[in-house]
Structure 1
Amino acid sequence: MAQRWLDEDQQRTWRAWLSVSELLPRALDAQLQRDAGLSHAAYVVLAMLSEAPGRSRRMSDLARRSNQSQSRLSHTVTRLEDRGWVRRERASEDGRGNLAVLTDAGWDVVRTLAPGHVDAVREALFEPLTAEQTRVLGDALQAVLDRLDPDHSQRLQEGDQPT
């Protein structure tokens, strides 16, 4: 059986995706570092907490939603606790799980940083695209996501995406 290589268009698209997946997070991280001395990963944690009922989530749920391992999330939350933006507490419903809770100071940080972060996302990702290209990109990414996560167990749901 002959090896099937990527055709020219697939190779061009794959290489562009690899570059974008490296450069876009770097650009967003640079904006957040400049504006708040905060990593993009830490901002995503704050954003996920800001959108949660009671501004709290179980650590396991927060790890999934922020695309971090439990260990990495624990380190991220520790750094956010040190800044007074997050606190941990035991889950009241079963006493077994741990919650991360966004403090009032953390809420203020999210509200302050969100507009600049949205501008950075818009400038880096959407300004180079036409409305039609944005729609096509969204459809294409949705198709890939449907292949990678057919039962929807790994993905963020509508409204869960950090901005």
Structure 2
Amino acid sequence: MKSADPLTAQEERLWRALMRIIVALPRSLDEDLLRSTGLTLTEYVVLMGLSEAENQELRMADLAATTALSASRITRVVDTLRSRGLVAKRRFEGDGRGSVATLTPDGLDRLKGAYPVHLASARKRVIDQLDGRSVPAMLRQFEAIAERLD
């Protein structure tokens, strides 16, 4: 990787603020969900990913990609959710090496119950703090960054 140009003072402030958000926001969202629903943010994201998938199921590798979790982390989270009856797991019929995670009816109910809490947390901690006029530009820029990271 080549040497980068130094950041301007404003760029440095932006970068430092973003780094604080990257660390603090997931913790705050996690605390809000856990206190009110008993789900962690990671568990919520996994349930959400399954709820949006065809037949509410995904191969574990696809679920890991959808949630931006490592293979070992997605296995641990799915196993935890399975032990609580929120997700089922079975071998993938087309490939004996892979598994498929499926959202159970209890998992869908739990997700539906957690959604209002997560929405209120996201709104309070981020969306309501933004100037609404800047949202379209921020959306384009953040999506472009996210695509490059994928």
TM over 0.5: yes
Pairwise CA distance, 1:143: 3.2
What fraction of aligned residue pairs are identical, expressed as a percent? 32
**Counterpart residue number, 1:42:** 43
Residue identity in the other structure for 1:137: M
Taking the aligned partners of 1:125 and 1:17, their CA distance within structure 2 comes to 12
Q: May I ask how many residue pairs the two structures share in their alignment? A: 147
**1:59-74 aligned within 5 A:** 59-74=60-75
**Counterpart residue number, 1:115:** 116
When normalised by structure 2's length, the TM-score is 0.91
**Counterpart residue number, 2:7:** 6
Secondary structure, counterpart of 2:5 in structure 1: coil
Taking the aligned partners of 2:77 and 2:145, their CA distance within structure 1 comes to 29
Which 5+ residue runs of structure 1 have no aligned equivalent? 155-163
Taking the aligned partners of 1:4 and 1:105, their CA distance within structure 2 comes to 52
Change (3 A) 1:131 1:3: closer
Is the helix fraction higher in 1 or 2? 2
Taking the aligned partners of 1:3 and 1:23, their CA distance within structure 2 comes to 27
Pairwise CA distance, 1:142: 2.5
Residue identity in the other structure for 1:86: V
- Regions of 4+ moved over 2 Å: 142-146
**Counterpart residue number, 2:92:** 91
Taking the aligned partners of 1:50 and 1:23, their CA distance within structure 2 comes to 27
Pairwise CA distance, 1:3: 6.8
**Counterpart residue number, 1:76:** 77
Secondary structure, counterpart of 1:127 in structure 2: helix
Taking the aligned partners of 1:58 and 1:128, their CA distance within structure 2 comes to 37
Taking the aligned partners of 2:108 and 2:16, their CA distance within structure 1 comes to 38
Taking the aligned partners of 2:50 and 2:113, their CA distance within structure 1 comes to 15
**Counterpart residue number, 2:25:** 24
After superposition, the CA RMSD in angstroms is 1.6
Taking the aligned partners of 1:50 and 1:144, their CA distance within structure 2 comes to 25
Pairwise CA distance, 1:98: 0.8
Per-residue displacement from partner, 1:46-73 (whole Å, max 9, x unpaired)? 0000111111000000001111111011
Pairwise CA distance, 1:129: 1.1
**Counterpart residue number, 1:127:** 128
Residue identity in the other structure for 1:138: L
When normalised by structure 1's length, the TM-score is 0.84
Which 5+ residue runs of structure 2 have no aligned equivalent? none
